[in-house]
Structure 1
Amino acid sequence: MPKGFKSSLQNRAVARALALWRMESGLSLTEVTERVNWSTGKTSMMQNGLVPITDADVVALALVYRIDDARWKPVYWGAQRARNPHTFDLVTNGAMPCVDWTYSEVEAEASHMRVVTLDVLPPMVWTPEYLAAVRGGSDRDYDDLHRARILGQLDPDPTLQVDLVVAQAVLRRPVGGALVMADQLFQLALFAQLPGVRVYLVPDSAGVVAGMTSFTLLSFREPQFDDVVYLDCPHCGVWLERETDRLPYLELYGRLMSTTLTDAETVEHLHRAAQDLKDGAR
């Protein structure tokens, strides 16, 4: 393993493809090793994104797994792009489509998520009615199975920590109507009680914090995986991997946390806001 190696999101997208190919083939690590003439450790580390993956590695495994051209070529180009994304994009100008990744795939690998929401709540806490009302149902490639898996990581023995920072203005935005929003806030209060979750409210009295925007900062157990920041934009999701790009969001998170209510005060506020919405609807 190269000293100081950090696995980019592109390298990890290639790794997921290789892991899927082996699962589909039904071959064991030993059987793969016999065909490619390298160690089982190399195959295992590659399909977990813990080492750099070359385009030659991709071709060799595609032959072993009998992957057709339409499927192996984006992985091949992805391995090339992982070495130097900026240069690859300049040279190819988008002509060579690379294997991609989704928000849910990256979230499934996280061990700690710090989520700041100033507009709508994050998908992992949505009720079906809230989902139907917000942005026409768009939900970052989430599905019910992924949501259930994430919730399973938060309770009863959490393998994931979620710290959710919510602006008070979000509670006053009746997405789907007062009753739908009230049910959503009750659901958020229940979510806050899970062992792996802490929810903090930024009260209106805190005023405006410079640079406030919604984002998610994801951290991982593996030392080869650096933190990443995700921004949910209208045209696409934006991923920030460089430390200089991530740092302003980490600093913003710290400024916001200095203004929040405690998690216990936040839950009490959520119940009160939900009940006010219910009472007003009647």
Structure 2
Amino acid sequence: MREKEEMTGIAPLSSPKRQPPTVRLRRLAAELRRLREEAGLTQAEVTEKTDLNLATLYRIETAKTKPQLRTLNALLDLYNATGSRRADLVALQKEAKQRGWLHSFEASLPDQYTALIGLEAEAEQAINYESLFIPGLLQTEDYIRAMICGVRPAATDEEIENRVSARLQRQALLEGDTPLHLWAILDEAALLRQVGGVSVMRAQLKHLTQQARRPHITVQVIPFSAGAHPGMPGSFIALKFAEDDFDVVYIDSMAGDLFLEKESDIEMYNHMCQHLRAIALSPADTAALLASLSEDH
């Protein structure tokens, strides 16, 4: 059906929900784009030097399709990719269809959100800035449920429970021998909003305080006294996969979720992260603030 649509330009009247790309397919696509750019080639020049057409190359580089092994080898030959880098990309191609626990939730969650979960699962580090919510990986179950009910008043009980379960599954990233290193920065407003009521917020603040003591989790709060700051327009998650700058930035908004992968965008958010960490309370002062707010509750 998809091939017919591409040939005729006529979309089918209805079709099943397209599965989002796996994290491995997204990483393969990103690496192939990076290799092409390092080789100084445009997409048009690649199509001239290979048997690929422009549409196929576009779909490969945007993770909309998995390249066949012979196609991947042709691209790697053109880009002069050798050694471990080539071997890693071939391995990604073979594993590109693999899905984890998220598979059971894909039909009920937005594509971009499931893509975030997949990327997050393979990241080494994450910075999560939130202006109005407690960061998702640090939320209690009661807070999650109250937040989803408030933000999505038309959601069914099943949709709510699916989202609650998916978020709790995400939090497993903070456990185990090699947990995700999380740097959570949140505006003071997120601590004062009574999501779920007093008892829910009391438990949430206690949980946040406990999590902030763990060696792989850093929590900082930007106090109201800091005034206007670069994070006020909205929340984001910056994911890092290796010992370099962040590779992907995820933005959640009412207009839709968005992934930023351009070098200029990544650089801008790296600078923003540095600025937000600088104006926020230190982790020690944040712990003192959390303790004070817990007592107030």
TM-score, reference length from structure 2: 0.58
Is 1:243 aligned to 2:250, yes or no?
A: no
1:147 aligned to 2:171?
Answer: yes
How many pairs are equivalent? 203
Equivalent residues in 2 for 1:104-119 (5 A)? 104-119=117-132
Closer/same/farther in 2, CA of residues 276 and 110 from structure 1, 3 Å limit:
same
Structure 2, unaligned runs of 5 or more: 1-30, 38-59, 69-85, 98-110, 150-159
Cα shift readout 1:196-221 (whole Å, capped 9, x = no counterpart) = 11101111111111462211111102
1:116 counterpart SS class: strand
In structure 2, the partner of 1:219 is 240
Give how far 1:186 is off.
0.7
Letter in 1 for 2:224: D
Matched residues in 1 for 2:249 and 2:117: separation? Answer: 14
Map Cα deviations across residues 33-57 of structure 1 (whole Å, 9 max, x no partner): xxxxxx99775242456xxxxxxxx
% identical equivalent positions: 26
Secondary structure at the counterpart of residue 126 of structure 2: strand
Provide the residue aligned with 2:137 in structure 1.
Answer: 124
- In the alignment, what sits opposite 2:35? 5
Distance 1:257 1:219 in 2: 17
CA distance in 1, matches of 2:141, 2:231: 31
Please tell me whether the aligned partners of residues 124 and 241 of structure 2 are also in contact (alpha carbons under 8 angstroms). yes
1:253 partnered with 2:273: yes
- Please give the per-residue CA displacement for 1:97-124, whole angstroms capped at 9, x wherever unaligned: x999522111001111011111111221
Deviations 1:57-114 (A, max 9, x none): x9xxxxxxxxxxxxxxxxxxxxxxxxxxxxxxxxxxxxxxx99952211100111101
Structure 2: how far apart are the matches of 1:42 and 1:250?
26
- Which runs of 5 or more structure 1 residues have no equivalent in the other structure? 19-38, 50-57, 59-97, 278-282
**SS of residue paired to 2:296:** helix
Tell me, in whole angstroms, the C-alpha distance in 2 between the residues paired with 1:106 and 1:158: 16
2-structure distance, mates of 1:178, 1:99: 32
Partner of 1:167: 187
Calculate the aligned-residue CA RMSD, in Å. 3.7
Q: Tell me how far apart the structure 1 counterparts of residues 269 and 213 of structure 2 sit (CA, whole Å).
A: 26
Alignment of 1:1-282 (within 5 A): 5=35, 10-11=62-63, 43-47=90-94, 102-136=115-149, 137=160, 139=163, 142-148=166-172, 150-153=173-176, 157-210=177-230, 212=232, 213-221=234-242, 227-277=247-297
Relative to the length of structure 1, the TM-score reads 0.61
